[in-house]
């Protein structure tokens, strides 16, 4: 159950777009369309932002979008805002009937 691979940090200026990648294997990301993304602010619980690769829960801004190609999933945030700053984690279901998270990416809004 190795963690999914995410960049440690990304940054962008307000109004710009950024993309966070999440690389797994053919046993997790590549096997299922069960990739989700979470946002976490310091001292707070994670918040679901994207599920089933591309779907947004009710109330999540349409500035957040997800995609997948092969064993790599991506989260794109367009029109970057200061409130988007925080940590982002990808998550995937696996062929072992377990779940695995990425190591997390710290987003800094410059």
Partner 1 sequence: EVQLLESGGGLVQPGGSLRLSCAASGFTFSNYAMSWVRQTPGKGLEWVSTISGSGASTYYADSVKGRFTISRDNSKNTLFLQINSLGAEDTAVYYCAKTGGYTTQPNDYWGQGTLITVSS
Nearest approach in angstroms of CB 35 to partner 1 is 9
In the complex with partner 1, the residue whose CB is nearer, 47 or 63, is: 47
Quick check: 38 binds partner 1 (CB under 8 A)?
yes
Nearest to 32 by CA among 76, 73, 2: 73
Q: How would DSSP label each residue in 3-36? A: PBB--SEEEE-TT--EEEEEE--TTTTTT-S-EE
Under a CB-based contact definition with an 8 Å cutoff, are residues 47 and 58 in contact? no
In the complex with partner 1, the residue whose CB is nearer, 19 or 31, is: 31
Q: Which of 23, 36, 71, 74 binds partner 1 (CB under 8 A)?
A: 36
Nearest approach in angstroms of CB 16 to partner 1 is 25
In the complex with partner 1, the residue whose CB is nearer, 13 or 45, is: 45
């Amino acid at each position: 159950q190795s963690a999914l691979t995410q960049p440690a940090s990304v940054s962008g200026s307000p109004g710009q777009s950024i993309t966070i990648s999440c690389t797994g294997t053919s046993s997790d990301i590549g096997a299922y369309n069960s990739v989700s993304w979470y946002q976490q602010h310091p001292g707070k619980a994670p918040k679901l932002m994207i599920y089933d690769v591309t779907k947004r829960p009710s109330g999540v801004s349409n500035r957040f979008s997800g995609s997948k190609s092969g064993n790599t999933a991506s989260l794109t945030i367009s029109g970057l805002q200061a409130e988007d700053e925080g940590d982002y984690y990808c998550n995937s279901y696996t062929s072992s009937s377990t779940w695995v998270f990425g190591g997390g990416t710290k987003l800094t809004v410059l």
